[in-house]
Structure 1
């Protein structure tokens, strides 16, 4: 995988991942890339700095530093950040047990409450077919780190 910093003809900059340099070229040539902010399809690679990480300090703490939300760059990102904080504040994170918890609440085996977590696409489709109301979130959980 390769990450490129892209820019549209309106000057909006954003990052995107591609399977390879050829993958980017194929999508760009086919006109299948568009700006997440304005929708423009005139996309080009932008100047970007390499991602260099310093050598690890052997005496550093074993716990990773807390990763806060990045600073929103526009109104859309601000709205998404606000929505994420509200969801995380007002619901229980159930992780990969999302489908099990949602089914238990739907069947009355567990008390109804607001939850969020992770489910594979096929599992989410099955829950919708069963009449369980689920909705994908437009962000990844901040709790899942590598």
Structure 2
């Protein structure tokens, strides 16, 4: 068995075990290796520190290598699906949140940290009525609520900002 540090095209880092490098390459080519955070199939090996055996652990390192030889590892069936760290409900929720973020980005204007000011201008008729999104502090949100401005928070994507 071999452990690889992996990274997807969204820079999510994770690790996974494979029977060997050929097994990794085969599963990657068949689209079976996916990011557990965003489900991307654009995955590659990340830079890893080498696992150097110390002399005080030499005998144990040999035992582990023999225990994990490819002959001792049962082959996965050709139709095996990639292992997932999330269940179906979590995957569905992530997909819905991603679709929501995409829809908002395509149909609304991003005003960034000016959200509260711009929302007030629209509410008071000082600016054209249009969908906007951006960032607001809890104080900004409280003030908008007190002014009667209709707004709602946009849930963050899981893993965003981590």
Q: Give the TM-score of the pair, scaled to structure 1.
A: 0.47
Structure number having the greater helix percentage: 2
* TM-score in terms of structure 2 length: 0.42
Q: Larger radius of gyration, structure 1 or 2?
A: 2
Tell me which of the two structures has the higher relative contact order, counting C-alpha pairs closer than 8 angstroms and 6 or more residues apart: 2
